[in-house]
């Protein structure tokens, strides 16, 4: 069993401040969720995680993009770069970078669930069954994904994993476990291409994608629930998980 060996102090620089851990559940209707996963180079993967988490082998990077047309946070798009791991016995993803095109929505996501999005611009395209997503910062592309040939799935065929977001809390630096619920209306799956990925711009230059796996596109009502657990980042999750 391999545990993370990353520098916990380095998390503090990108961890948002949460004044409380009691945000009520929030439902975002009709969100388009693009999710793509890719194996990364194995050398030194344990250094990418804090000691609380265990990297999966192989370790996957996943890019998740939300396109929210309406709802309590208004219209916005957001993207997150995550790494596959376990917290104790449970599969999780560890957030290493996040971006959003709405400061107001970004502040709400940081305040309630520990997301830490920086500013970005988003472009979406759909032609003849091909979907494309592009994320840019100050005119420079930091992520571009193309999904050229998607096929329909059943509403229960896509699996979403809880995310661990580092945040400064009243308890100190913690990993915030967020368990989004997706009420899926429609989903599709297929191959994808990583047309651009600037790992350094997303906060972790050591990520080196080597083998694309699969991508999905889902239309769902997405609920960010009330928080249930946080974890101390400096000890393994078997010892450091705290129930709220």
Task: Give the mean model confidence (pLDDT) for residues 216-241.
Answer: 97
Q: pTM of the predicted model, to two decimals? A: 0.96
pLDDT for residue 156? 86
Task: Give the mean model confidence (pLDDT) for residues 52-81.
Answer: 98
pLDDT for residue 48? 98
Q: Could you tell me which CATH number the domain at 8-243 has?
A: 2.40.400.10
**pLDDT higher than threshold 90 for residue 131:** yes
Domain boundaries, the chain: 8-243
pLDDT for residue 80? 99
Choice between 39 and 43, residue whose per-residue pLDDT is larger? 39
pLDDT for residue 128? 81
Cβ neighbours of residue 42 under 8 Å, at least 6 residues apart? 57, 58, 59
Task: Give the mean model confidence (pLDDT) for residues 75-101.
Answer: 98
Q: What is the mean pLDDT of the chain?
A: 96
Digit-coded pLDDT (tens) for 166-221 = 999 999 999 999 999 999 999 999 999 999 999 999 999 999 999 999 999 999 99
pLDDT-derived band at 243, boundaries 50, 70, 90: very high
């Amino acid at each position: 069993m391999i545990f993370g060996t990353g520098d916990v102090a380095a998390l503090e620089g990108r961890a948002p401040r949460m004044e409380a851990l009691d945000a009520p559940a929030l439902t975002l209707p009709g969100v388009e969720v693009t999710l793509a996963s890719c194996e990364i180079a194995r050398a030194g993967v344990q250094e990418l995680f804090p000691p609380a988490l265990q990297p999966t082998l192989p370790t996957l990077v996943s890019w998740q993009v939300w396109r929210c047309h309406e709802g309590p946070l208004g219209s916005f798009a957001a993207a997150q770069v995550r790494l596959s791991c376990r917290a104790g016995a449970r599969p999780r993803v560890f957030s290493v970078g996040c971006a959003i095109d709405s400061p107001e929505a970004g502040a709400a996501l940081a305040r309630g669930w520990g997301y830490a999005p920086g500013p970005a611009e988003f472009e979406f395209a759909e032609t003849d069954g091909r979907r494309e997503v592009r994320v840019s910062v100050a005119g420079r592309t930091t992520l571009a994904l193309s999904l050229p040939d998607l096929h329909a799935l059943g509403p229960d065929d896509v699996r979403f994993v809880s995310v661990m977001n580092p945040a400064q809390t009243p308890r100190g630096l913690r990993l915030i476990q967020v368990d989004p619920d997706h009420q899926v209306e429609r989903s599709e799956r297929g191959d994808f291409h990583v047309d651009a990925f600037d790992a350094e711009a997303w906060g972790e230059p050591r990520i080196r994608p080597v083998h694309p796996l699969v991508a999905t596109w889902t239309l769902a009502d997405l609920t960010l629930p009330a928080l249930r657990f946080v974890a101390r980042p400096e000890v393994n999750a078997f010892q450091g998980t705290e129930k709220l």
